């Protein structure tokens, strides 16, 4: 029975021009924010609301924002408290996201001592021109230095890369992936740049076709980087993720399997007892809401299933039909795809009785394949994943 916990640390050293995640650059309240996280975690633990069994292992994911941009001592007391109050197992996967510009050897040692055993670093590229375009605070040497620091302490390291960046070439992306592998990195997430609403990049590139990477080049980058990573032993296991077998993100696999997880922190979204819920996207509001929190109020929220508060600002109760529709949306992201037996166990129905026409249509189009219990996207299907998923739901 796994407990899966996400914690959002919404602080960054500087806002990247392409990013629409909730984060702020004023870090003066970061210790008070960690106090609030601990208050929420304690109240939740004492509320008696149980994590439903997931069948997966315990995982804790400290994401952001940039968790490495705040005091490492605050991260350590947060992780140690969560491990203790949720009795996380000794082999729990405990991940922290870091950036090269704020990582130091001292911080890495503190993370390790606190029980963190997996690090995900936002490298994005090992090409200085691309890093400049992205407005990152580190250059390629900074990324190499940070990888070296992590490797002194951790074995389980993931690096993020980005593709489809204006001015980026296929060669630049592939040589970045090859270098990460040659340095012994066992997990790579490669995300295609998307122009998110309200970002500096959206304004700059939305109508700027000359500078943007053409969609066919971006797709070529996507497939080639997966191919190169696979040749190096990092097998694709999700739309954007490749890993040496055994180094997949257990936390994210639970998420894609539709499992439960609690989420603490500003803008954090969780899923428990068929409810999706979100916390306020404001550090100040979150700290204030955590102040008034009691275990009784958390219990009341889960018992009544209609309760809104300063802490839980939206609640969406999933019906059986909505959960069924969400299944392909999450499962088709993974290379394992949908599983007919799991679907039957979850919903008591044959997947073909629910999605039969859409499955047949997309197999016919060469976008899906059924192999025994598994129904999964082909490589061509991954390009058109949104269309296939829309067709299913």
Q: Where do contacts with ligand SF4 occur on this chain (CB under 6 A)?
A: 12, 15-16, 19, 21, 23, 64-66, 99, 122
CA within 13 Å, CB half, 207: 1
For residues 5 and 16, which CB has a smaller minimum distance to ligand SF4 in the complex?
Answer: 16
* Residue ranges of E strands in the chain: 4-9, 59-64, 93-98, 118-124, 156-163, 187-192, 235-238, 241-243, 262-264, 269-272, 275-278, 314-317, 338-339, 368-371, 374-377
Strands of the 275-278 sheet, one edge to the other = 269-272, 275-278, 314-317
Q: Please provide the distance, in angstroms rounded to a whole number, between the alpha carbons at the two ends of the chain.
A: 30
Best CA proximity match to 268, nearest among 115, 72, 62: 62
Closest distance of CB 68 from ligand SF4, Å: 10
Best CA proximity match to 234, nearest among 223, 246, 222: 246
For residues 66 and 212, which CB has a smaller minimum distance to ligand SF4 in the complex?
Answer: 66
Closest distance of CB 44 from ligand SF4, Å: 25
For residues 92 and 121, which CB has a smaller minimum distance to ligand SF4 in the complex?
Answer: 121
Decide if 80 contacts 41 (C-beta within 8 A): no
Residues 93 and 123: their CA atoms lie apart, in Å, by: 21
For residues 15 and 297, which CB has a smaller minimum distance to ligand SF4 in the complex?
Answer: 15
CB proximity list for 312: less than 8 A, separation 6 or greater: 277, 278, 279, 301
Closest distance of CB 15 from ligand SF4, Å: 5
Closest distance of CB 42 from ligand SF4, Å: 27
Closest distance of CB 264 from ligand SF4, Å: 17
Q: Which residue is listed with tokens 């499962």? A: 331
Decide if 8 contacts 268 (C-beta within 8 A): yes
Closest distance of CB 137 from ligand SF4, Å: 8
For residues 15 and 299, which CB has a smaller minimum distance to ligand SF4 in the complex?
Answer: 15
| Burial status of residue 246 (CB atoms within 10 A of its CB: 0-12, 13-18, 19 or more) | exposed
Tell me the Cα Rg of the chain.
Answer: 21
Closest distance of CB 270 from ligand SF4, Å: 19
For residues 23 and 163, which CB has a smaller minimum distance to ligand SF4 in the complex?
Answer: 23
Closest distance of CB 29 from ligand SF4, Å: 16
For residues 122 and 270, which CB has a smaller minimum distance to ligand SF4 in the complex?
Answer: 122
Q: Rounded to 5 degrees, what are φ and ψ at 119?
A: -130, 135
Residues 75 and 247: their CA atoms lie apart, in Å, by: 23
For residues 17 and 295, which CB has a smaller minimum distance to ligand SF4 in the complex?
Answer: 17
Closest distance of CB 88 from ligand SF4, Å: 25
For residues 30 and 47, which CB has a smaller minimum distance to ligand SF4 in the complex?
Answer: 30
Residues 393 and 387: their CA atoms lie apart, in Å, by: 10
Closest distance of CB 180 from ligand SF4, Å: 18
For residues 70 and 331, which CB has a smaller minimum distance to ligand SF4 in the complex?
Answer: 70
What are 244's two structure tokens?
């040496």
């Amino acid at each position: 029975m796994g407990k899966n916990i996400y914690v959002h640390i919404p602080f960054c050293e500087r806002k990247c021009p392409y990013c629409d995640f909730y984060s702020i650059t004023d870090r003066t309240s970061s210790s008070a924010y960690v106090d609030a996280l601990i208050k929420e975690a304690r109240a939740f633990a004492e509320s008696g609301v149980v994590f439903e069994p997931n069948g997966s292992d315990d995982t804790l994911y400290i994401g952001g924002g940039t968790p490495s941009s705040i005091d490492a001592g605050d991260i350590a007391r947060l992780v140690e408290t969560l491990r203790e109050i949720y009795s996380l197992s000794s082999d729990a996967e405990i991940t922290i996201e870091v950036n090269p510009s704020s990582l130091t050897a001292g911080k890495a040692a503190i993370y390790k001592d606190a029980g963190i055993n997996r690090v995900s670093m936002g490298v994005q590229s090992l090409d200085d021109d691309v890093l400049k375009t992205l407005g990152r605070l580190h250059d390629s040497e900074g990324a190499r230095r940070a990888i070296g620091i992590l490797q002194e302490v951790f074995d389980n390291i993931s690096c993020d890369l980005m593709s489809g960046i204006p001015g980026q070439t296929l060669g630049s992306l592939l040589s970045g992936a090859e270098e990460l592998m040659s340095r012994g990195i066992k997990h790579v997430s490669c995300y295609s740049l998307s122009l998110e609403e309200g970002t500096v990049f959206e304004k700059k590139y939305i109508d700027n076709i000359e500078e943007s990477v053409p969609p066919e080049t971006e797709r070529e980058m996507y497939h080639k980087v997966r191919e190169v990573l696979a040749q190096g032993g990092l097998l694709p296991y999700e739309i954007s993720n490749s890993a040496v077998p055994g180094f997949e993100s257990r936390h994210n696999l639970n998420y894609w399997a539709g499992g439960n997880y609690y989420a603490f922190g500003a803008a954090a979204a969780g899923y428990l007892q068929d409810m999706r819920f979100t916390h306020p996207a404001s550090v100040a509001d979150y700290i204030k809401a955590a102040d008034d929190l009691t275990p009784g109020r958390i219990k009341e929220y889960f018992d009544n299933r209609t309760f809104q508060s300063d802490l839980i600002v939206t609640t969406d109760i999933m019906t059986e039909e909505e959960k069924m529709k969400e299944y392909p949306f999450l499962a088709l992201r993974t290379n394992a795809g949908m599983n007919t037996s799991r679907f039957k166990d979850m919903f008591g129905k044959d997947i073909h009785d629910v999605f039969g026409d859409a499955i047949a249509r997309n197999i016919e189009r060469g976008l899906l394949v059924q192999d025994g219990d598994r129904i999964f996207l082909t490589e061509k299907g991954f390009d058109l994943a949104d269309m296939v998923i829309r067709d299913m739901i």
